[in-house]
Structure 1
């Protein structure tokens, strides 16, 4: 009996690879250090409802991903988001002429990865610290010292700095992953008892600690009170304030939001901050995925391509394609 394939990470890239391998008839086992799937697509449960703290929306340009998104839409996993978008520069708000089609998970971003995971076997709250090879098979060791395996192949779908450490068995791939610079993002959620009196649903921001802000209720499936907003700091601001206490991050980004928005702003009734240490790659690559087919070790993620949700999905597909081609 053939050993299963291990997939480390249940974000879009890992689940894209897992689905492709499962459809091709291979047994997979997934591992994730978090309590649920999604990676940066995850949604945070809070006292004011689910909050999309990571990926805010995604676009689809590649025909393969367009087809996948249309299938997701037919299944009710995603919906088109048609926000009233603005730009802010030098403190001035202006309506955005952007007509790009944007998609969001419904009723939250994590709905996509939960649906993709389905009934596939997964080990949550299991941080893999080492990937090592025996005579014929791979084994994994977790942070608790437990061993998992044997596995015929391993697909690592983690942010580049984490992937690099797990790719120690193949220095060439480890070196490629370690060359990727990942930038951080501070995210803050604020809730107000009454809706803010503004037409802004989303805003791209320049010349501010903020990079992006959005009104949660403007997205499909997220109606209701209180009025929740998600703010993303710029990569530059986040890097310079990486270890700032969360309370101070909330205070500063709330202040930047109040300066930018075109309405009176009362004190929030709820706030939280979350630091994404590896939010996005600093630059795009064209690797598709990394592979040592002879060893049976692969790596994928948005950092292998565009840095977008689409890039993550395509990278997972590319890793699965390379693995399946080697088995033929």
Structure 2
């Protein structure tokens, strides 16, 4: 019997590695602490429709990723998003068009990871707290005290702080992961009965608690009667108000949005706040992936590269490539 490979984390990096290994004939078991796949690419189903609270869109530059995104497009998982883009600086709103191709999942961001997951064996709502070595193989312990295994190799595809805690068996890798700072982001959604009077569909924001905002229904295949907006706060603001109650976060960011539109904004009929504790890495690395092939431990994630969706996918590719190279 072939001993399977464990992959901890079912975001883009973990699923990128999982699909490659599975397609090459390796048995895979995925573990994720959330209810489903996606990580920061997940969407939340709400009374105001499905909302992308994490990654808002992504770009593709590396030819390997471009090819993969074309495959996703062929599957109907993604489409191009061409928003009317603005920039807000020094209290002024100005049009900010560019040539960048922006992609979004359809009909929501989580369609991509759901598609990648396919029929892979996955354990959801299962938070792994320890990765330890038996006589021959790896075992995983979860927060409920259950042990999973044996596994021949383990790929850890979580944000750096979570990866650090799981790398006790590989101090060198743990040290590298521990050196990566990840920054938080408060995200809120506001839905209005009557559409706000603005042509804006996306906006990069400076000099404000806000960093970004998007009109959700301007994205392809979004279906909502309400005019729903997703707002992201800056890392600095999010760090400062990390433990602010959600109602207060909504109030403050709603106020910043009204200021930006110079508008007495109607009261939203729906609000939601979500705190991403590890939204993005501070700075970018060129590691691709971290590996101790002799131990059979590999680590991947957006923080091993550019911090973008593309970086996460490429990092997963690199981890699976190194693992297969080692197994020969």
Give TM-score scaled by structure 1 length.
0.99
> What's the counterpart of residue 214 of structure 1?
214
Unaligned 5+ segments in structure 2 are: none
Where do residues 8-23 of structure 1 align in structure 2 (5 Å cutoff)?
8-23=8-23
Tell me what 2:293 maps to.
293
The structural deviation recorded for 1:97 is 2.9
Q: Aligned partners of 1:224, 1:108: CA distance in 2, in Å? A: 12
**Separation (CA, whole Å) in 2 of partners of 1:326 and 1:141:** 25
* 1:53-64 correspondence runs (5 A): 53-64=53-64
2:205 matched residue in structure 1: 205
Cα deviation code 1:223-246 (max 9, x no counterpart)? 331110000000000000000000
Contact 2:49 2:223 in 1 (8 A): no
- 3-state DSSP class of the match of 1:214? strand
Q: Distance in 1 between matches of 2:154 and 2:8?
A: 8
Query: Which residue number in structure 2 is paired with residue 139 of structure 1?
Result: 139
Equivalent runs, 1:225-304 vs 2, <5 Å: 225-261=225-261, 263-304=263-304
- State the distance in 2 between where 1:195 and 1:4 align: 51
Rounded to whole Å, the distance in 2 between the matches of 1:145 and 1:72 is 38
For residues 253 and 2 of structure 1, the distance between their equivalents in structure 2, rounded to whole angstroms, comes to: 52
Deviations along 1:113-167, whole A, 9 cap, x unmatched? 0000000000000000000001110000000000000000000000000000101
Question: 1:264: how far off?
Answer: 4.6
8 Å CA contact retained: 1:157, 1:300: yes
Separation in 2, partners of 1:2, 1:132: 19
Asked if 2 retains the 8 angstrom alpha-carbon contact of 1:217 and 1:227, the reply is: yes
TM-superposed CA distance for 1:287, in Å, is 0.3
Q: Is the 8 A contact 2:128 2:142 kept in 1?
A: yes
- 1:325 alignment counterpart: 325
* Conserved 8 A contact 2:290-2:300: yes
How many Å separate the matches in 1 of 2:124 and 2:227? 32
Distance 1:113 1:50 in 2: 15
- Aligned pairs (5 A) from 1:24-35: 24-35=24-35
Distance of 1:28 and 1:246 partners within structure 2:
38
Whether 1:89 and 2:89 are equivalent positions in the alignment is yes
Shift of 1:43: 0.3
What SS is found at the alignment partner of 2:197?
coil
Residue number in structure 2 paired with 1:107: 107
SS of alignment partner, residue 244 of structure 2: coil
Q: How does 1:125-136 map to 2 (within 5 A)?
A: 125-136=125-136
Distance 2:74 2:194 in 1: 34
Query: How far is 1:263 from its partner?
Result: 4.7
Say what the alpha-carbon RMSD is for the aligned residues. Answer: 0.7
Alignment correspondent of 2:315: 315
Contact in 1 for aligned 2:157/2:300 (Cα 8 Å): yes
